[in-house]
A and B are shown apart, each in its own frame.
Chain A
Amino acid sequence: MENRKIYFDNASTTYVGNEALREMMPVFSNIYGNPSSLHSFGRDAVNLVDIARDRIAKAIGAKASEIYFTSGGTEANNLAIKGLAYANRHKGNHIITSCIEHSSVLEACRQLEKDGFIVTYLKVDSHGLINFADLLHHINSNTILISIMTANNEIGTIQHMQAIAETAKEREIIFHTDAVQAVGSISYNVNAMGIDAMSISSHKIYGPKGVGCLYVRDGVKIQSVIAGGKQERGVRGGTQNVPAIVGFGKAIEVAVRDMSVNNKKIKTIKEYFVKRLTESISDVYINGHPAQRLQGIVSVSFDCVNAEAVLTMLDMQGIAVSVGSACESGTIEPSHVLKEIGLDDVLAKGTIRFSFGKSNTKEEIDYLIETLIPIIEKLRNISPLRKKKRKED
Protein backbone atom coordinates (compact mmCIF):
# COMPACT_ATOMS: atom_id res chain seq x y z
CA MET A 1 0.00 0.00 0.00
CA GLU A 2 2.86 2.35 0.82
CA ASN A 3 4.12 2.35 -2.74
CA ARG A 4 0.78 3.14 -4.23
CA LYS A 5 0.80 6.15 -6.52
CA ILE A 6 -2.30 7.90 -7.77
CA TYR A 7 -2.38 10.88 -10.08
CA PHE A 8 -5.14 13.44 -9.64
CA ASP A 9 -3.27 16.29 -11.29
CA ASN A 10 -4.29 15.81 -14.90
CA ALA A 11 -4.92 19.51 -15.40
CA SER A 12 -1.21 20.13 -14.78
CA THR A 13 -0.14 17.60 -17.33
CA THR A 14 -0.99 14.14 -18.60
CA TYR A 15 1.02 11.09 -19.54
CA VAL A 16 1.65 10.49 -23.23
CA GLY A 17 -0.97 8.14 -24.63
CA ASN A 18 0.09 4.92 -26.35
CA GLU A 19 -1.11 5.84 -29.79
CA ALA A 20 0.71 9.19 -29.75
CA LEU A 21 3.84 7.62 -28.32
CA ARG A 22 3.88 4.86 -30.90
CA GLU A 23 3.76 7.36 -33.74
CA MET A 24 6.36 9.71 -32.40
CA MET A 25 9.01 7.27 -31.22
CA PRO A 26 10.44 6.23 -34.61
CA VAL A 27 10.59 9.87 -35.67
CA PHE A 28 13.39 10.67 -33.20
CA SER A 29 15.91 8.44 -34.93
CA ASN A 30 14.46 7.75 -38.36
CA ILE A 31 12.89 10.98 -39.60
CA TYR A 32 15.43 13.42 -38.28
CA GLY A 33 15.63 15.82 -41.17
CA ASN A 34 15.04 19.52 -40.71
CA PRO A 35 11.63 20.35 -42.17
CA SER A 36 13.15 23.43 -43.78
CA SER A 37 15.77 21.43 -45.67
CA LEU A 38 15.24 20.96 -49.37
CA HIS A 39 16.48 17.34 -49.60
CA SER A 40 14.52 14.13 -49.07
CA PHE A 41 15.30 14.05 -45.33
CA GLY A 42 13.70 17.46 -45.00
CA ARG A 43 10.75 16.49 -47.18
CA ASP A 44 10.10 13.39 -45.06
CA ALA A 45 10.03 15.56 -41.95
CA VAL A 46 7.81 18.18 -43.52
CA ASN A 47 5.38 15.47 -44.59
CA LEU A 48 4.99 14.38 -40.99
CA VAL A 49 4.54 17.95 -39.80
CA ASP A 50 1.90 18.46 -42.47
CA ILE A 51 0.02 15.34 -41.40
CA ALA A 52 0.00 16.61 -37.82
CA ARG A 53 -1.10 20.05 -38.97
CA ASP A 54 -3.99 18.49 -40.87
CA ARG A 55 -5.05 16.45 -37.89
CA ILE A 56 -5.02 19.46 -35.59
CA ALA A 57 -6.90 21.58 -38.10
CA LYS A 58 -9.49 18.86 -38.53
CA ALA A 59 -9.88 18.49 -34.76
CA ILE A 60 -10.97 22.11 -34.42
CA GLY A 61 -12.64 22.66 -37.77
CA ALA A 62 -9.87 24.87 -39.11
CA LYS A 63 -7.68 24.84 -42.22
CA ALA A 64 -4.15 23.46 -42.04
CA SER A 65 -2.84 26.85 -43.17
CA GLU A 66 -4.29 28.37 -40.00
CA ILE A 67 -2.19 26.29 -37.57
CA TYR A 68 1.14 27.62 -36.27
CA PHE A 69 3.22 25.30 -34.11
CA THR A 70 4.76 26.67 -30.94
CA SER A 71 6.62 25.28 -27.95
CA GLY A 72 3.38 24.99 -25.98
CA GLY A 73 0.45 26.87 -24.50
CA THR A 74 2.48 29.65 -22.93
CA GLU A 75 4.18 30.51 -26.20
CA ALA A 76 0.91 30.24 -28.10
CA ASN A 77 -0.68 32.73 -25.71
CA ASN A 78 2.28 35.08 -25.96
CA LEU A 79 2.19 34.88 -29.72
CA ALA A 80 -1.55 35.47 -29.77
CA ILE A 81 -1.62 38.46 -27.43
CA LYS A 82 1.52 40.23 -28.59
CA GLY A 83 1.50 39.05 -32.20
CA LEU A 84 -2.12 40.06 -32.78
CA ALA A 85 -1.79 43.32 -30.86
CA TYR A 86 1.29 44.55 -32.71
CA ALA A 87 0.03 43.43 -36.13
CA ASN A 88 -3.23 45.31 -35.62
CA ARG A 89 -1.94 48.33 -33.78
CA HIS A 90 -2.89 50.64 -36.63
CA LYS A 91 -6.55 49.89 -35.83
CA GLY A 92 -6.37 50.64 -32.13
CA ASN A 93 -4.55 49.96 -28.90
CA HIS A 94 -7.19 48.53 -26.59
CA ILE A 95 -7.37 44.91 -25.46
CA ILE A 96 -9.99 43.21 -23.32
CA THR A 97 -9.22 40.11 -21.31
CA SER A 98 -10.31 38.71 -17.96
CA CYS A 99 -8.64 38.79 -14.58
CA ILE A 100 -8.64 34.99 -14.30
CA GLU A 101 -6.62 34.23 -17.41
CA HIS A 102 -3.50 32.11 -17.29
CA SER A 103 -0.40 34.06 -16.32
CA SER A 104 0.97 33.78 -19.87
CA VAL A 105 -1.96 35.92 -21.08
CA LEU A 106 -1.90 38.30 -18.13
CA GLU A 107 1.85 38.85 -18.25
CA ALA A 108 1.81 39.33 -22.02
CA CYS A 109 -0.89 41.98 -21.53
CA ARG A 110 1.17 43.70 -18.85
CA GLN A 111 4.11 43.84 -21.23
CA LEU A 112 1.89 45.45 -23.84
CA GLU A 113 0.70 48.02 -21.32
CA LYS A 114 4.31 49.18 -21.00
CA ASP A 115 4.30 49.70 -24.73
CA GLY A 116 1.29 51.97 -24.99
CA PHE A 117 -1.55 49.46 -25.11
CA ILE A 118 -4.55 49.83 -22.82
CA VAL A 119 -5.80 46.60 -21.31
CA THR A 120 -9.14 46.01 -19.57
CA TYR A 121 -9.17 43.05 -17.20
CA LEU A 122 -12.80 42.03 -16.82
CA LYS A 123 -13.89 40.97 -13.36
CA VAL A 124 -15.65 37.67 -12.81
CA ASP A 125 -18.51 36.65 -10.54
CA SER A 126 -18.20 34.13 -7.71
CA HIS A 127 -18.57 31.29 -10.23
CA GLY A 128 -15.77 32.66 -12.37
CA LEU A 129 -17.94 33.95 -15.22
CA ILE A 130 -17.34 37.28 -16.87
CA ASN A 131 -20.32 39.60 -17.04
CA PHE A 132 -21.52 40.09 -20.58
CA ALA A 133 -22.83 43.61 -19.98
CA ASP A 134 -19.46 44.47 -18.52
CA LEU A 135 -17.78 43.24 -21.69
CA LEU A 136 -20.07 45.37 -23.86
CA HIS A 137 -19.52 48.37 -21.61
CA HIS A 138 -15.76 48.23 -22.05
CA ILE A 139 -15.64 47.79 -25.83
CA ASN A 140 -14.70 51.00 -27.59
CA SER A 141 -13.58 52.09 -31.03
CA ASN A 142 -9.97 51.34 -30.15
CA THR A 143 -10.63 47.76 -29.09
CA ILE A 144 -8.69 45.42 -31.36
CA LEU A 145 -8.58 42.19 -29.40
CA ILE A 146 -10.71 40.26 -26.93
CA SER A 147 -8.96 37.33 -25.27
CA ILE A 148 -11.02 35.15 -22.95
CA MET A 149 -10.10 31.63 -21.94
CA THR A 150 -12.64 28.97 -22.80
CA ALA A 151 -12.34 27.18 -19.46
CA ASN A 152 -10.38 28.12 -16.39
CA ASN A 153 -7.48 25.87 -15.39
CA GLU A 154 -8.01 26.23 -11.65
CA ILE A 155 -11.76 26.15 -11.18
CA GLY A 156 -12.97 24.68 -14.49
CA THR A 157 -15.61 27.33 -15.26
CA ILE A 158 -16.52 27.56 -18.95
CA GLN A 159 -17.29 31.03 -20.33
CA HIS A 160 -20.19 31.92 -22.63
CA MET A 161 -18.07 31.53 -25.73
CA GLN A 162 -20.75 32.03 -28.33
CA ALA A 163 -21.93 35.34 -26.96
CA ILE A 164 -18.41 36.71 -26.62
CA ALA A 165 -17.45 35.56 -30.12
CA GLU A 166 -20.56 37.06 -31.71
CA THR A 167 -20.01 40.36 -29.95
CA ALA A 168 -16.44 40.48 -31.20
CA LYS A 169 -17.45 39.55 -34.73
CA GLU A 170 -20.17 42.20 -34.99
CA ARG A 171 -17.65 44.83 -34.06
CA GLU A 172 -14.79 43.42 -36.14
CA ILE A 173 -12.70 42.79 -33.07
CA ILE A 174 -10.36 39.81 -33.08
CA PHE A 175 -11.42 37.10 -30.65
CA HIS A 176 -8.74 34.87 -29.15
CA THR A 177 -9.38 32.09 -26.69
CA ASP A 178 -6.92 30.18 -24.55
CA ALA A 179 -8.29 26.68 -25.05
CA VAL A 180 -5.40 24.88 -23.38
CA GLN A 181 -7.52 23.40 -20.61
CA ALA A 182 -10.66 22.87 -22.66
CA VAL A 183 -9.47 21.06 -25.79
CA GLY A 184 -10.23 17.37 -25.43
CA SER A 185 -13.19 18.10 -23.13
CA ILE A 186 -15.16 20.46 -25.36
CA SER A 187 -15.70 20.05 -29.08
CA TYR A 188 -14.54 22.98 -31.14
CA ASN A 189 -15.47 24.28 -34.51
CA VAL A 190 -13.67 27.57 -34.86
CA ASN A 191 -15.86 28.72 -37.74
CA ALA A 192 -19.19 27.88 -36.16
CA MET A 193 -17.98 29.33 -32.88
CA GLY A 194 -16.55 32.48 -34.40
CA ILE A 195 -13.08 32.06 -32.95
CA ASP A 196 -10.31 34.01 -34.69
CA ALA A 197 -7.37 32.68 -32.71
CA MET A 198 -6.97 29.83 -30.26
CA SER A 199 -4.12 28.44 -28.14
CA ILE A 200 -3.71 24.70 -27.69
CA SER A 201 -1.18 22.69 -25.71
CA SER A 202 -0.28 19.08 -26.38
CA HIS A 203 0.64 17.84 -22.91
CA LYS A 204 -2.82 18.42 -21.43
CA ILE A 205 -4.36 15.99 -23.91
CA TYR A 206 -2.05 12.98 -23.57
CA GLY A 207 0.50 14.34 -26.00
CA PRO A 208 4.16 15.16 -25.40
CA LYS A 209 5.36 18.28 -23.59
CA GLY A 210 7.14 21.13 -25.34
CA VAL A 211 4.69 21.56 -28.20
CA GLY A 212 1.46 23.36 -28.83
CA CYS A 213 -0.03 25.57 -31.48
CA LEU A 214 -1.85 28.76 -32.19
CA TYR A 215 -4.73 28.70 -34.62
CA VAL A 216 -5.16 32.02 -36.43
CA ARG A 217 -7.98 32.48 -38.92
CA ASP A 218 -6.76 33.16 -42.45
CA GLY A 219 -6.94 36.88 -43.11
CA VAL A 220 -6.31 37.87 -39.49
CA LYS A 221 -3.01 39.69 -39.26
CA ILE A 222 -0.41 38.40 -36.82
CA GLN A 223 3.27 39.05 -36.50
CA SER A 224 6.11 37.03 -35.08
CA VAL A 225 7.20 37.82 -31.54
CA ILE A 226 10.62 36.15 -31.69
CA ALA A 227 13.31 37.01 -34.18
CA GLY A 228 14.29 34.09 -36.35
CA GLY A 229 13.81 32.22 -39.57
CA LYS A 230 10.80 31.88 -41.80
CA GLN A 231 9.41 28.69 -40.32
CA GLU A 232 5.67 28.46 -39.79
CA ARG A 233 5.14 30.95 -42.61
CA GLY A 234 7.23 33.55 -40.85
CA VAL A 235 5.04 33.64 -37.74
CA ARG A 236 7.21 31.43 -35.56
CA GLY A 237 10.89 31.03 -36.31
CA GLY A 238 12.83 28.03 -35.09
CA THR A 239 13.14 24.46 -36.30
CA GLN A 240 9.95 22.55 -35.64
CA ASN A 241 10.05 19.86 -32.95
CA VAL A 242 9.04 17.15 -35.39
CA PRO A 243 8.62 14.13 -33.06
CA ALA A 244 6.62 16.19 -30.57
CA ILE A 245 4.47 17.66 -33.35
CA VAL A 246 3.76 14.12 -34.59
CA GLY A 247 2.75 13.07 -31.06
CA PHE A 248 0.63 16.19 -30.65
CA GLY A 249 -1.18 15.54 -33.93
CA LYS A 250 -2.02 12.00 -32.93
CA ALA A 251 -2.95 13.02 -29.39
CA ILE A 252 -5.51 15.59 -30.51
CA GLU A 253 -6.97 13.18 -33.05
CA VAL A 254 -7.40 10.57 -30.31
CA ALA A 255 -8.74 13.17 -27.86
CA VAL A 256 -11.47 14.25 -30.25
CA ARG A 257 -12.27 10.67 -31.30
CA ASP A 258 -12.63 9.50 -27.68
CA MET A 259 -14.05 12.71 -26.25
CA SER A 260 -17.57 11.59 -25.46
CA VAL A 261 -16.39 8.30 -23.92
CA ASN A 262 -13.77 10.06 -21.80
CA ASN A 263 -16.09 12.87 -20.77
CA LYS A 264 -18.66 10.38 -19.60
CA LYS A 265 -16.07 8.43 -17.63
CA ILE A 266 -14.58 11.55 -16.05
CA LYS A 267 -18.00 12.93 -15.18
CA THR A 268 -18.85 9.71 -13.33
CA ILE A 269 -15.56 9.84 -11.42
CA LYS A 270 -16.01 13.50 -10.58
CA GLU A 271 -19.57 13.10 -9.37
CA TYR A 272 -18.58 10.15 -7.24
CA PHE A 273 -15.72 12.15 -5.77
CA VAL A 274 -17.88 15.17 -4.96
CA LYS A 275 -20.55 12.98 -3.40
CA ARG A 276 -18.12 11.07 -1.22
CA LEU A 277 -16.17 14.19 -0.31
CA THR A 278 -19.17 16.21 0.79
CA GLU A 279 -20.60 13.26 2.69
CA SER A 280 -17.33 12.54 4.49
CA ILE A 281 -15.81 15.90 5.32
CA SER A 282 -17.50 18.97 6.77
CA ASP A 283 -16.85 22.57 5.77
CA VAL A 284 -15.68 21.92 2.24
CA TYR A 285 -16.60 24.22 -0.62
CA ILE A 286 -16.49 23.42 -4.32
CA ASN A 287 -15.39 26.38 -6.42
CA GLY A 288 -16.42 27.34 -9.93
CA HIS A 289 -19.69 27.17 -11.78
CA PRO A 290 -21.97 24.33 -10.66
CA ALA A 291 -23.01 23.32 -14.18
CA GLN A 292 -21.09 25.24 -16.81
CA ARG A 293 -17.74 23.63 -16.13
CA LEU A 294 -15.14 21.13 -17.14
CA GLN A 295 -15.86 17.83 -15.46
CA GLY A 296 -12.22 16.99 -14.89
CA ILE A 297 -11.36 19.87 -12.57
CA VAL A 298 -12.66 20.09 -9.02
CA SER A 299 -11.37 22.95 -6.92
CA VAL A 300 -12.09 22.31 -3.26
CA SER A 301 -11.61 24.73 -0.38
CA PHE A 302 -11.10 23.10 3.01
CA ASP A 303 -11.81 25.47 5.85
CA CYS A 304 -9.08 26.12 8.44
CA VAL A 305 -6.31 24.07 6.87
CA ASN A 306 -3.43 25.07 4.68
CA ALA A 307 -3.45 23.53 1.21
CA GLU A 308 0.30 22.97 1.14
CA ALA A 309 0.06 20.90 4.30
CA VAL A 310 -2.81 18.86 2.79
CA LEU A 311 -0.91 18.37 -0.46
CA THR A 312 2.21 17.24 1.39
CA MET A 313 0.31 14.71 3.48
CA LEU A 314 -1.47 13.35 0.41
CA ASP A 315 1.87 13.16 -1.37
CA MET A 316 3.28 11.10 1.49
CA GLN A 317 0.51 8.61 0.75
CA GLY A 318 1.29 8.63 -2.96
CA ILE A 319 -1.55 10.90 -4.07
CA ALA A 320 -0.74 13.81 -6.39
CA VAL A 321 -2.89 16.96 -6.40
CA SER A 322 -2.26 20.69 -6.86
CA VAL A 323 -2.58 23.79 -4.74
CA GLY A 324 -4.45 26.41 -6.76
CA SER A 325 -2.52 25.74 -9.94
CA ALA A 326 0.91 24.30 -10.54
CA CYS A 327 2.15 27.64 -11.84
CA GLU A 328 1.51 29.42 -8.55
CA SER A 329 3.14 27.48 -5.76
CA GLY A 330 4.57 29.03 -2.61
CA THR A 331 2.57 30.20 0.32
CA ILE A 332 2.77 33.96 0.14
CA GLU A 333 -0.09 34.79 -2.18
CA PRO A 334 -3.11 32.65 -2.88
CA SER A 335 -3.90 32.19 -6.56
CA HIS A 336 -5.24 35.24 -8.39
CA VAL A 337 -8.17 33.18 -9.67
CA LEU A 338 -9.34 32.21 -6.19
CA LYS A 339 -9.03 35.82 -5.05
CA GLU A 340 -11.00 37.07 -8.03
CA ILE A 341 -13.93 34.73 -7.35
CA GLY A 342 -14.04 36.29 -3.90
CA LEU A 343 -12.72 33.56 -1.63
CA ASP A 344 -11.49 34.84 1.70
CA ASP A 345 -7.82 34.37 2.45
CA VAL A 346 -8.18 31.30 4.63
CA LEU A 347 -10.37 29.47 2.13
CA ALA A 348 -8.16 30.46 -0.79
CA LYS A 349 -5.12 29.15 1.05
CA GLY A 350 -6.99 25.97 1.87
CA THR A 351 -7.82 25.19 -1.74
CA ILE A 352 -6.77 22.02 -3.51
CA ARG A 353 -7.31 21.27 -7.17
CA PHE A 354 -8.18 17.67 -7.92
CA SER A 355 -8.09 17.03 -11.65
CA PHE A 356 -9.22 13.76 -13.12
CA GLY A 357 -8.14 12.02 -16.27
CA LYS A 358 -9.33 9.20 -18.43
CA SER A 359 -7.42 6.56 -16.49
CA ASN A 360 -8.64 7.40 -12.98
CA THR A 361 -10.98 4.91 -11.34
CA LYS A 362 -13.70 4.94 -8.71
CA GLU A 363 -11.53 2.72 -6.58
CA GLU A 364 -8.84 5.41 -6.65
CA ILE A 365 -11.44 7.91 -5.44
CA ASP A 366 -12.21 5.59 -2.53
CA TYR A 367 -8.53 5.51 -1.65
CA LEU A 368 -8.34 9.29 -1.96
CA ILE A 369 -11.32 9.84 0.34
CA GLU A 370 -10.11 7.33 2.91
CA THR A 371 -6.73 9.05 2.90
CA LEU A 372 -8.14 12.55 2.93
CA ILE A 373 -10.53 12.14 5.88
CA PRO A 374 -7.84 11.59 8.55
CA ILE A 375 -5.55 14.19 6.97
CA ILE A 376 -8.13 16.95 7.17
CA GLU A 377 -9.12 15.86 10.64
CA LYS A 378 -5.51 15.86 11.79
CA LEU A 379 -4.74 19.27 10.34
CA ARG A 380 -7.93 20.76 11.70
CA ASN A 381 -7.02 19.40 15.11
CA ILE A 382 -3.70 21.17 14.87
CA SER A 383 -5.29 24.37 13.57
CA PRO A 384 -6.05 27.09 16.12
CA LEU A 385 -8.55 28.65 13.68
CA ARG A 386 -10.85 25.68 13.92
CA LYS A 387 -11.64 26.20 17.56
CA LYS A 388 -12.20 29.90 17.16
CA LYS A 389 -14.62 29.30 14.31
CA ARG A 390 -16.56 26.77 16.35
CA LYS A 391 -16.87 29.26 19.19
CA GLU A 392 -18.19 31.88 16.83
CA ASP A 393 -20.79 29.47 15.42
Chain B
Amino acid sequence: MYSDKIMQIFANPKNVGTLKGADATGEATNEFGEVVKIFINAEDGIITDAKFKAYGSVVAIASGSTVTTLIKGKFLDDAINVSNEMILESLGGVIDKEKIPSLKIAREALLLALKNYKDKFGEI
Protein backbone atom coordinates (compact mmCIF):
# COMPACT_ATOMS: atom_id res chain seq x y z
CA MET B 1 0.00 0.00 0.00
CA TYR B 2 1.06 3.54 -0.65
CA SER B 3 1.06 6.67 1.49
CA ASP B 4 -1.62 9.29 0.86
CA LYS B 5 1.11 11.57 -0.41
CA ILE B 6 2.22 9.18 -3.13
CA MET B 7 -1.38 8.58 -4.11
CA GLN B 8 -2.04 12.31 -4.38
CA ILE B 9 0.99 12.88 -6.55
CA PHE B 10 0.27 9.81 -8.67
CA ALA B 11 -3.34 10.86 -9.23
CA ASN B 12 -2.36 14.40 -10.25
CA PRO B 13 1.22 14.31 -11.41
CA LYS B 14 2.79 17.68 -12.17
CA ASN B 15 5.00 18.53 -15.15
CA VAL B 16 3.82 15.73 -17.39
CA GLY B 17 4.86 16.17 -20.99
CA THR B 18 7.79 17.01 -23.18
CA LEU B 19 9.69 20.21 -23.91
CA LYS B 20 10.08 20.80 -27.60
CA GLY B 21 13.71 21.52 -28.36
CA ALA B 22 14.63 20.98 -24.72
CA ASP B 23 18.11 22.06 -23.70
CA ALA B 24 18.71 18.60 -22.34
CA THR B 25 17.00 15.25 -21.88
CA GLY B 26 17.74 12.11 -19.92
CA GLU B 27 16.08 8.72 -20.11
CA ALA B 28 16.55 5.93 -17.59
CA THR B 29 15.19 2.40 -17.31
CA ASN B 30 15.28 -0.15 -14.54
CA GLU B 31 15.03 -3.91 -14.06
CA PHE B 32 11.23 -3.70 -14.06
CA GLY B 33 11.29 -2.31 -17.59
CA GLU B 34 10.05 1.04 -16.35
CA VAL B 35 11.13 4.17 -18.21
CA VAL B 36 11.40 7.76 -16.99
CA LYS B 37 12.40 10.53 -19.36
CA ILE B 38 13.20 14.04 -18.13
CA PHE B 39 13.38 17.23 -20.18
CA ILE B 40 15.00 20.43 -18.91
CA ASN B 41 15.44 23.99 -20.06
CA ALA B 42 17.88 26.30 -18.31
CA GLU B 43 18.95 29.88 -18.41
CA ASP B 44 21.89 31.46 -16.62
CA GLY B 45 22.53 28.20 -14.86
CA ILE B 46 19.00 27.98 -13.48
CA ILE B 47 16.47 25.34 -14.49
CA THR B 48 13.57 27.31 -15.92
CA ASP B 49 11.39 24.39 -16.89
CA ALA B 50 11.30 20.65 -16.37
CA LYS B 51 8.93 18.02 -17.66
CA PHE B 52 8.78 14.24 -17.55
CA LYS B 53 7.27 11.19 -19.16
CA ALA B 54 7.04 7.87 -17.36
CA TYR B 55 6.05 4.35 -18.24
CA GLY B 56 5.71 2.38 -15.09
CA SER B 57 4.12 1.84 -11.75
CA VAL B 58 2.63 4.27 -9.26
CA VAL B 59 6.04 5.03 -7.74
CA ALA B 60 7.74 5.67 -11.09
CA ILE B 61 5.09 8.19 -12.10
CA ALA B 62 5.02 9.89 -8.70
CA SER B 63 8.83 10.06 -8.66
CA GLY B 64 8.92 11.66 -12.11
CA SER B 65 6.53 14.32 -10.90
CA THR B 66 8.48 14.84 -7.70
CA VAL B 67 11.91 15.13 -9.32
CA THR B 68 10.76 17.69 -11.84
CA THR B 69 9.03 19.68 -9.11
CA LEU B 70 12.16 19.60 -6.95
CA ILE B 71 14.53 20.86 -9.66
CA LYS B 72 12.45 23.66 -11.12
CA GLY B 73 14.07 27.00 -10.27
CA LYS B 74 17.17 25.30 -8.91
CA PHE B 75 20.69 25.98 -10.12
CA LEU B 76 21.88 23.15 -12.37
CA ASP B 77 24.70 22.35 -9.98
CA ASP B 78 22.24 22.16 -7.10
CA ALA B 79 19.96 19.85 -9.07
CA ILE B 80 22.78 17.28 -9.06
CA ASN B 81 22.34 17.06 -5.33
CA VAL B 82 18.72 15.98 -5.49
CA SER B 83 19.00 12.60 -3.80
CA ASN B 84 16.81 9.54 -3.63
CA GLU B 85 16.24 10.38 0.04
CA MET B 86 14.92 13.81 -0.92
CA ILE B 87 12.58 12.24 -3.46
CA LEU B 88 11.42 9.70 -0.92
CA GLU B 89 10.85 12.47 1.62
CA SER B 90 8.68 14.34 -0.87
CA LEU B 91 6.72 11.16 -1.51
CA GLY B 92 5.78 10.89 2.13
CA GLY B 93 8.82 9.10 3.51
CA VAL B 94 8.00 5.42 3.09
CA ILE B 95 7.71 2.95 0.25
CA ASP B 96 8.08 -0.82 0.12
CA LYS B 97 11.65 -1.93 -0.34
CA GLU B 98 10.90 -3.69 -3.62
CA LYS B 99 9.59 -0.43 -5.08
CA ILE B 100 12.88 1.44 -4.62
CA PRO B 101 14.10 0.86 -8.21
CA SER B 102 10.93 2.64 -9.38
CA LEU B 103 11.94 5.64 -7.32
CA LYS B 104 15.60 5.57 -8.33
CA ILE B 105 15.03 5.79 -12.07
CA ALA B 106 13.63 9.31 -11.75
CA ARG B 107 16.89 10.48 -10.26
CA GLU B 108 18.90 8.53 -12.81
CA ALA B 109 16.95 10.23 -15.59
CA LEU B 110 17.70 13.58 -13.97
CA LEU B 111 21.45 12.84 -13.74
CA LEU B 112 21.46 11.78 -17.39
CA ALA B 113 19.68 14.99 -18.35
CA LEU B 114 22.23 17.04 -16.43
CA LYS B 115 25.05 15.12 -18.07
CA ASN B 116 23.42 15.73 -21.43
CA TYR B 117 23.30 19.44 -20.61
CA LYS B 118 26.96 19.46 -19.67
CA ASP B 119 27.89 17.59 -22.84
CA LYS B 120 26.03 20.15 -24.90
CA PHE B 121 26.88 23.39 -23.15
CA GLY B 122 30.06 22.60 -21.27
CA GLU B 123 30.03 23.66 -17.66
CA ILE B 124 26.90 23.74 -15.63
Return the contact of B33 from the options A312, A345, A381 (Cβ within 8 A). Answer: A345
Tell me the smallest distance from the CB of A351 to a CB of chain B, in Å: 13
**If the complex has contacts A306-B55, A384-B55, are A349 and B33 also in contact, measured as CB distance less than 8 A?**
yes
Are A331 and B57 neighbours in the complex by a CB distance under 8 Å? Answer: yes
Which residues of chain B in 14-73 are interfacial with respect to chain A, using CB atoms and an 8 Å cutoff?
Answer: 16, 18, 27, 31-37, 53-58, 60-61, 64
Return the contact of A309 from the options B31, B35, B61 (Cβ within 8 A). Answer: B61
Residues from chain B with a CB closer than 8 A to the CB of A309 are 10, 56-58, 61
Asked if A255 is at the interface of the complex by the 8 Å CB criterion, the answer is no
Asked if A116 is at the interface of the complex by the 8 Å CB criterion, the answer is no
Most buried by B among A306, A346, A385: A306
Asked if A316 is at the interface of the complex by the 8 Å CB criterion, the answer is yes
Query: Which label, helix, strand, loop or mixed, suits the secondary structure of the A interface?
Result: helix
Are B33 and A346 neighbours in the complex by a CB distance under 8 Å? Answer: yes
**If the complex has contacts A309-B56, A316-B11, A331-B102, are A385 and B61 also in contact, measured as CB distance less than 8 A?**
no
Asked if A282 is at the interface of the complex by the 8 Å CB criterion, the answer is no
Are A384 and B33 neighbours in the complex by a CB distance under 8 Å? Answer: no
Most buried by A among B16, B33, B102: B33
Interface size (B, Cβ < 8 Å)?
27
Minimum CB distance partner of B99 in chain A: A331
* Assembly CA distance A330 to B37 (angstroms): 22
Most buried by A among B18, B27, B35, B64: B35
* Assembly CA distance A120 to B32 (angstroms): 29
Tell me the smallest distance from the CB of B80 to a CB of chain A, in Å: 23
Minimum CB distance partner of B98 in chain A: A330
Asked if A308 is at the interface of the complex by the 8 Å CB criterion, the answer is yes
Minimum CB distance partner of B2 in chain A: A312
Minimum CB distance partner of A379 in chain B: B61
Asked if A305 is at the interface of the complex by the 8 Å CB criterion, the answer is yes
Tell me the smallest distance from the CB of B91 to a CB of chain A, in Å: 14
**If the complex has contacts A331-B102, A332-B32, A345-B33, are A312 and B58 also in contact, measured as CB distance less than 8 A?**
yes
Minimum CB distance partner of B56 in chain A: A306
Which residues of chain B in 83-103 are interfacial with respect to chain A, using CB atoms and an 8 Å cutoff?
Answer: 98-99, 102
Return the contact of A332 from the options B53, B54, B56, B98 (Cβ within 8 A). Answer: B98
Asked if A319 is at the interface of the complex by the 8 Å CB criterion, the answer is no
Chain A, 353-393, contact with B by CB distance < 8 Å: what is the 0/1 string? 00000000000000000000000000101111101000000
Name A residues whose Cβ lies closer than 8 Å to a Cβ of B: 304-306, 308-309, 312-313, 316, 330-332, 345-346, 349, 379, 381-385, 387
Known: A308-B58, A312-B7, A345-B33. 12 other contacts (CB 8 A): A306-B55, A306-B57, A312-B10, A313-B11, A316-B11, A330-B98, A331-B32, A331-B56, A331-B99, A382-B55, A384-B54, A387-B18
